[in-house]
């Protein structure tokens, strides 16, 4: 496959570029509930060509890279955690109270304060400190895969690696891994399902209560016996507004448990599906491990686990001709933005050599950009380095169990794989 060109292409002449007005006739309607709908379909590409957004049954969806990026950075919009609860008619209870106290829901000064404190604890140096452990764990799990033949990659690798790394970085005792992993899976149901049914809410609230009790005990222990872990650093973090309270520590740890496992597990699983569809790219990575950073960015661009990100208008406003009353929700299609031909040469081509051209926006932007970006990228890099070195290209050997099409964190819940014979590089 030829290397993708490094220059930025000139947008097609027919593409509408008027930043001030929106013609209703040019706005397509996308039925997300139609069987087989995909954000990589010709229908979505045509809608993207015609206008910066499309209508849908759930609201307007931004499709172009520049507009998705602009909306994520625009201070007139909120992330809107309350809106997510409202969407599912949840206005009280354990899940509601926890969710509304996290960084996903806070705005302004309270949000900035928590991010500053977390930034003091969750540093790039701390991520580097756990890199060797991540590589060793990735290798140990890969050796198990090599000896087992067909297996469920999600259960045996994709979920285990980030959870073990999170346990290490948080100072969770290894003997508590299984309980920790179970709680993390249950918390992940907040974004895993297409709807928060009473059964899902019940499971999530049980996990919040059980994990919360565990975290409170662990925090109390760390206050008495500090360690070199992230939890101790969070306890010790101070700024002009003081330290994290016990309640804030509880809520932040629960958020890290969900975000630190579920998103990376889904993204790593999606990566393996991409390589199963493009085994020649696996061979390129095996023969040239220096391509791993580029491959991580290309995986994130080409097959993102976060397909839709929401923003809410903080007040009545107009964005590029679209009038949005206060509280109106706008969806940002990360998938469509990452395949925008005005931003990416040959956007539908999966090429681990794309390099700096893979300017994906998977980790959001603005005040709510992902705090765990460097950790997730490191985990993906170490996993791909180990897997390509030890195993031949993956092949899917059975039905994949996918999450609901509208799940905010999307990917397989089970992924049956086997590995081809490892060939000698040329």
Give yes or no for residue 331 having a pLDDT over 60.
Answer: yes
Of 52-61, 77-86, 134-143, 247-256, where does mean pLDDT reach its minimum? 77-86
* 178 is a domain residue: yes
Rounded (5°) CA angle 92-73-343: 125
- For residue 192, the model assigns a pLDDT of 65
20 or 99, which is more confident: 99
- For residue 12, the model assigns a pLDDT of 34
* 17 is a domain residue: no
Cβ atoms of 405 and 31 within 8 Å: the answer is no
Give yes or no for residue 112 having a pLDDT over 50.
Answer: yes
d(CA 105, CA 84): 9
* 342 is a domain residue: yes
Specify the CATH number for the domain of residue 309: 1.10.630.10
Cβ atoms of 320 and 26 within 8 Å: the answer is no
- At 358, give phi and psi (nearest 5°): -85, 70
pTM of the model: 0.89
Q: Report the SS3 class of residue 310.
A: strand
Q: Report the SS3 class of residue 236.
A: helix
Range among 234-238, 353-357, 393-397, 419-423 with highest mean pLDDT value: 393-397
Which residue is listed with tokens 């397989």? 412
Q: Which long-range contacts (CB under 8 A, 24 or more apart) does 247-253 make?
A: 247/101, 248/101, 248/114, 249/215, 249/219, 250/212, 250/215, 250/216, 250/219, 251/98, 251/101, 251/102, 252/102, 252/103, 252/114, 252/118, 253/170, 253/215, 253/219
- For residue 1, the model assigns a pLDDT of 37
Overall domain count for the chain:
1
d(CA 269, CA 173): 26
* 18 is a domain residue: no
pLDDT digits (tens, 9 = 90+) for 360-400: 888 888 878 888 889 999 999 999 999 999 999 999 999 99
Mean predicted confidence (pLDDT) in 341-358 = 88
Range among 82-91, 171-180, 257-266, 322-331 with highest mean pLDDT value: 322-331
Q: How far from 3 is each of 7, 246, 293, 388, CA to CA, in Å?
A: 12, 52, 16, 20
Q: How many CA atoms, within 13 angstroms, populate the side-chain half-sphere of residue 216? A: 8
Radius of gyration, alpha carbons of the chain: 22
* 9 is a domain residue: no
pLDDT digits (tens, 9 = 90+) for 166-176: 999 988 887 88
Give the pLDDT band of residue 2 (cuts 50, 70, 90): very low
- For residue 179, the model assigns a pLDDT of 86
* 424 is a domain residue: no
* 7 is a domain residue: no
Measured in whole angstroms, the distance separating CA 194 from the mean position of its chain's CA atoms is 16
Of 19-23, 110-114, 383-387, where does mean pLDDT reach its minimum? 19-23
Which residues span the domain enclosing 409? 25-419
pLDDT digits (tens, 9 = 90+) for 277-330: 999 999 999 999 999 999 999 999 999 998 888 899 999 999 999 999 999 999
Cβ atoms of 417 and 398 within 8 Å: the answer is no
Q: Which two tokens stand for residue 356?
A: 């700096």
* 325 is a domain residue: yes
Give yes or no for residue 10 having a pLDDT over 60.
Answer: no
Give yes or no for residue 233 having a pLDDT over 50.
Answer: yes
- At 348, give phi and psi (nearest 5°): -85, -5
Give yes or no for residue 30 having a pLDDT over 50.
Answer: yes
- For residue 114, the model assigns a pLDDT of 86
d(CA 74, CA 335): 20
- For residue 271, the model assigns a pLDDT of 98
């Amino acid at each position: 496959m030829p290397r993708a060109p490094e220059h930025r292409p000139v947008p097609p002449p027919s593409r509408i570029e008027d930043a001030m007005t929106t013609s209703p006739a040019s706005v397509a309607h996308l039925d997300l509930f139609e069987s087989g709908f995909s954000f990589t379909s010709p229908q979505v590409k045509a809608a993207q060509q015609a206008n910066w957004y499309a209508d849908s049954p759930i609201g307007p969806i931004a499709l172009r890279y520049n507009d998705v990026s602009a909306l994520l950075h625009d201070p007139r919009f909120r992330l809107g955690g309350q809106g997510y609860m409202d969407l599912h008619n949840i206005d009280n209870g354990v899940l509601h109270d926890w969710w509304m106290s996290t960084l996903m829901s806070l705005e302004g000064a309270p949000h900035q304060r928590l991010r500053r404190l977390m930034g003091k604890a969750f540093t790039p140096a701390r991520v580097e400190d756990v890199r060797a452990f991540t590589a060793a764990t990735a290798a140990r799990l890969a050796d198990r895969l090599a000896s087992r033949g067909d297996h469920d990659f999600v259960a045996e690798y994709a979920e285990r690696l980030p959870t073990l790394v999170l346990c290490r970085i948080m100072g969770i005792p290894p003997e508590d891994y299984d309980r920790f992993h179970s709680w993390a899976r249950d918390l992940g149901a907040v974004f895993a399902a297409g709807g928060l049914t009473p059964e899902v809410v019940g499971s999530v609230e049980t996990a919040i209560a059980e994990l919360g009790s565990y975290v409170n005990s662990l925090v109390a222990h760390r206050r008495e016996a500090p360690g070199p872990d992230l939890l101790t650093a969070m306890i010790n973090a101070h700024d002009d507004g003081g330290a994290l309270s016990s309640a804030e520590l509880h809520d932040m740890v629960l958020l890290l448990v969900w975000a630190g496992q579920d998103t990376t597990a889904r993204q790593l699983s999606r990566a393996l599906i991409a390589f199963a569809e493009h085994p020649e790219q696996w061979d390129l990575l095996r023969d040239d491990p220096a391509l791993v950073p580029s491959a991580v960015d290309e995986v994130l661009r080409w097959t993102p686990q976060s397909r839709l990100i929401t923003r809410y208008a903080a007040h009545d406003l107009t964005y590029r001709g679209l009038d949005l009353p206060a509280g109106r929700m706008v969806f940002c299609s990360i998938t469509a933005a990452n395949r925008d031909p005005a931003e990416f040469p040959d956007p539908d081509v999966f090429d681990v050599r794309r390099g700096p051209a893979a300017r994906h926006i998977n980790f959001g932007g603005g005040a709510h950009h992902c705090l765990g970006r460097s950790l997730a990228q490191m985990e993906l890099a170490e996993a791909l380095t180990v897997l390509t070195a030890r195993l031949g290209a993956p092949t899917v050997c059975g039905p994949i169990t996918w999450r609901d099409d509208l799940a905010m964190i999307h990917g397989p819940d089970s992924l049956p794989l086997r590995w081809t014979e490892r060939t000698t590089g040329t």
